[in-house]
Amino acid sequence: AADIQADLDRVLVTDEQIQEKLAELAARVDADYAGKDVLLVGVLKGAIMVMADFARHLTIDAPMDWMAVSSYGASTKSSGVVQIRKDLDTPLEGKHVLVVEDIIDSGLTLSWLLDHFGTRGAASIEVLTAFRKPDAMKVDIDAKYVGFDIPNEFVIGYGLDYAERYRGLRDVAVLAPHVYQ
Ligand code: PRP
Ligand code: MN
Ligand code: MG
């Protein structure tokens, strides 16, 4: 495999900045969900890193479940067509659901997912996202816990991929255009 660094334009958010922000968000979630029957729902595959790090900053014991959906495939643009690749193992009835995402880009994935979850009887549904692109959003998503607002450029790392690559980069970086042009 090729060297990741050669494919980067520039780093937008460092590993250290991400961890500091997730610790802040976890402190808020600790307070907001104390004594509640919470369920963290990670959206595979992009959310694997944020789930792993965020959950380890929590002091409340929060069960995790996973949903696999995909809208991007091997493209840099969302298709808007969301496919369920793996459903939850846990019923949502009565649960305080916190959906954990790596990024809100167009918002289409979460818009679809929140509609879908809305029929499953959760006591509450909120969203935590590590990143959000305000200038790319096509539908408004009311995310309660947001790490960083970033510019509308194609970013990779910290779970975010381009054609399944670069998820393991610790920082979030802008992909060099030569990679996808
Ligand atoms: C990416 C990302 C979010 C979604 C955001 O997932 O992880 O889930 O797109 O884009 P949107 O707001 O425009 O819908 P992707 O579909 O690439 O699947 P992946 O998580 O497996 O990479
Ligand atoms: Mn995703
Ligand atoms: Mg992806």
**Residue 130 belongs to domain with CATH number:** 3.40.50.2020
Q: Which two tokens stand for residue 67?
A: 């949903």
Name every residue whose Cβ is closer than 8 Å to that of residue 24 and which is 6 or more positions away in sequence. none
Residue 109 lies in a domain: yes
Residue 105 lies in a domain: yes
d(CA 124, CA 94): 8
pLDDT for the residue numbered 171: 98
Q: Quote the number of domains for the chain.
A: 1
pLDDT for the residue numbered 83: 86
Contact present, 159 and 100 (Cβ < 8 Å): no
Report ipTM for this prediction: 0.98
Contact present, 161 and 1 (Cβ < 8 Å): no
Q: Average pLDDT for consecutive 10-residue bins of the chain (181 residues)?
A: 90 98 98 98 97 98 94 64 91 97 96 92 97 97 98 97 96 94 84
Tell me, in angstroms, the distance from the centre of ligand 1 to residue 29's CA.
23
Residue 5 lies in a domain: no
pLDDT for the residue numbered 73: 59
* Owning domain of residue 99: 17-150
pLDDT for the residue numbered 71: 76
Residue 56 lies in a domain: yes
Residue 105 CA, distance from chain mean position: 10
Contact present, 166 and 3 (Cβ < 8 Å): no
Tell me, in angstroms, the distance from the centre of ligand 1 to residue 103's CA.
7
Ligand 1 contacts (CB < 6 A) are 43-46, 70-72, 78, 101-109, 161
Residue 63 lies in a domain: yes
d(CA 67, CA 70): 10
Compute, in degrees rounded to 10, the torsion defined by CA atoms 48, 138, 26, 72.
Answer: 0
Residue 167 lies in a domain: no
Tell me, in angstroms, the distance from the centre of ligand 2 to residue 48's CA.
9
Contact present, 91 and 120 (Cβ < 8 Å): yes
pLDDT for the residue numbered 70: 77
Residue 159 lies in a domain: no
Residue 179 lies in a domain: no
Q: Is 105 a catalytic residue?
A: yes
Which residue from 109, 113, 150, 162 has its CB within 8 A of the most atoms of ligand 1, so it is best to mutate? 109
Catalytic pick among 7, 53, 102, 105 = 105
